């Protein structure tokens, strides 16, 4: 895609590029340069560097500390960030709960929570899915019963990403049993240090603790932590999910990964076969590129809509479906490029810059990326559910 930037936008691109080259904390830059996962502390340092620059609230309204960027500026920022291989922002605070708070929370809640979210002083996690309520999110069973000035919460949430780091969790809870599942659900903010909250790990295929189960046993939550009206949580949750699905698409990151594939095809690293004459492989590369270019146009339309103050619409479901399919297609291409060197997954290669990788330099990350990204078509609402949304809200079926 060719976009003609104005002089102002070209200057902005240079400013963003300079930031990623020269203004990141040293230990964050070291981790990025060595292709390592960022620790919690390094991730916070990165996000606080963005906040200091005034760039943390990409989609936030200006009155709450947001950037006020145009769709083109957001496009430039996301693409320069991906080219610099910078980490993606942990979305739960800045990109997910914050829009709900500044859209539906009262002034006291906005003043209490938004500054700490913007400055990454507080780590948030998401309490939506339950053991028997994932894609059927309206089937949640976690209950919150009003008791004077508090709610008493009992239940369990699962697949809680990075919940073991979190200070707060935003939860969908059932405050009323009605005939319709989507009714009687409320949006509640819960301090993770409250007595009765227990976090238990779920170990993933790569041997790491990324997701958790969170148990609530007679947890007392102040009623003033309720966002908006009681029983209206489903409405607020849908707004949050459209932001989440837009972020999951990861268009800029996929563009960077595709660009790296072309670079390695042109100059194959030691240990990698020359695949340029493999017509089947090259056809898959080109097909992925076509899908990605088409997806980029949809993302630009969404960014333009958000820039006017609107929440993403059902097109966020299109982004989620195609974005995650492209991510998985790229994972498969990387595994094929790595060949036999994709087989040995040594976690220390991903965490320690002193460990010598086996095979081509990129091969160490192919297995964890492949296995971890099996989930992207599931979380944030399965792709099958997104097709139902498109059928109803776009096609009118």
Please identify every residue annotated as catalytic.
Answer: 244
Measured distance CA(302)–CA(307) in Å, rounded: 9
Q: Do 173 and 188 touch, CB atoms closer than 8 A?
A: yes
Beta strand spans in the chain (E): 124-127, 143-147, 150-157, 168-174, 185-191, 197-203, 209-222, 226-227
Ramachandran angles phi, psi of 170, nearest 5°? -100, 130
CA dist 125 to 184, 204, 266, Å? Answer: 22, 18, 42
Q: Please report where in the chains the tokens 């990861």 appear, as a residue.
A: 250
For 287, the token pair is 């097909």
Q: Do 319 and 297 touch, CB atoms closer than 8 A?
A: no
Relative orientation angle of helices 279-307 and 71-83, to the nearest 10 degrees? 140
Q: Please report where in the chains the tokens 């009323």 appear, as a residue.
A: 176
136: CB partners within 8 A, 6+ apart? none
Measured distance CA(397)–CA(379) in Å, rounded: 24
Q: Do 335 and 273 touch, CB atoms closer than 8 A?
A: no
For 86, the token pair is 């910078």
């Amino acid at each position: 895609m060719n976009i003609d930037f104005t002089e102002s936008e070209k200057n902005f691109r240079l400013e963003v590029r300079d930031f990623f080259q020269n203004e990141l904390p040293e230990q964050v830059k070291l981790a990025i340069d060595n292709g390592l996962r960022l620790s919690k502390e390094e991730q916070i340092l990165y996000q606080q560097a963005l906040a200091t620059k005034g760039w943390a609230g990409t989609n936030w309204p200006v009155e709450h500390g947001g950037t006020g960027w145009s769709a083109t500026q957001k496009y430039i920022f996301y693409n320069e960030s991906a080219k610099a291989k910078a980490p993606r922002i942990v979305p739960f605070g800045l990109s997910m709960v914050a829009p709900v708070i500044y859209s539906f929370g009262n002034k006291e809640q906005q003043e209490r929570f938004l500054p700490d979210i913007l400055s990454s002083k507080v780590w948030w996690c998401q309490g939506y899915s339950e053991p028997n309520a994932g894609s059927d999110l309206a089937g949640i069973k976690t209950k919150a019963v009003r008791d004077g000035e508090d709610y008493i919460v009992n239940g369990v949430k699962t697949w809680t990403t990075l919940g073991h780091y979190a200070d707060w969790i935003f939860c969908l809870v059932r405050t009323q049993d009605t005939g319709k599942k989507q009714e009687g659900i409320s949006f509640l903010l819960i301090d993770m240090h409250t007595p009765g909250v227990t976090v238990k790990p779920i170990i993933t295929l790569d041997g790491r603790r990324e997701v958790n189960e969170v148990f609530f046993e007679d947890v007392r939550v102040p009623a003033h932590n309720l966002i908006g009206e009681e029983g209206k949580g489903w409405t607020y949750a849908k707004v949050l999910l459209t932001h989440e699905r837009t972020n999951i698409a990861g268009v800029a990151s996929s563009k960077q990964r595709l660009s790296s594939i072309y670079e390695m095809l042109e100059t194959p690293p030691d240990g990698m076969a020359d695949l340029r004459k493999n017509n089947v492989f090259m056809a898959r590369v080109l097909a992925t590129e076509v899908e990605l270019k088409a997806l980029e146009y949809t993302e630009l339309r969404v960014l333009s809509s958000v820039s006017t103050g609107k929440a993403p619409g059902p097109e966020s479901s299109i982004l989620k479906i195609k974005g995650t399919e492209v991510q998985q297609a790229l994972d498969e291409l990387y595994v094929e490029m790595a060949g036999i060197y994709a087989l040995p997954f040594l976690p220390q290669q991903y965490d320690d810059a002193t460990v010598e990788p086996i095979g081509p330099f990129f091969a160490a990350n192919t297995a964890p990326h492949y296995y971890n990204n099996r989930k992207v078509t599931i979380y944030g609402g399965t792709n099958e559910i997104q097709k139902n949304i498109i059928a109803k809200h776009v096609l009118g079926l």
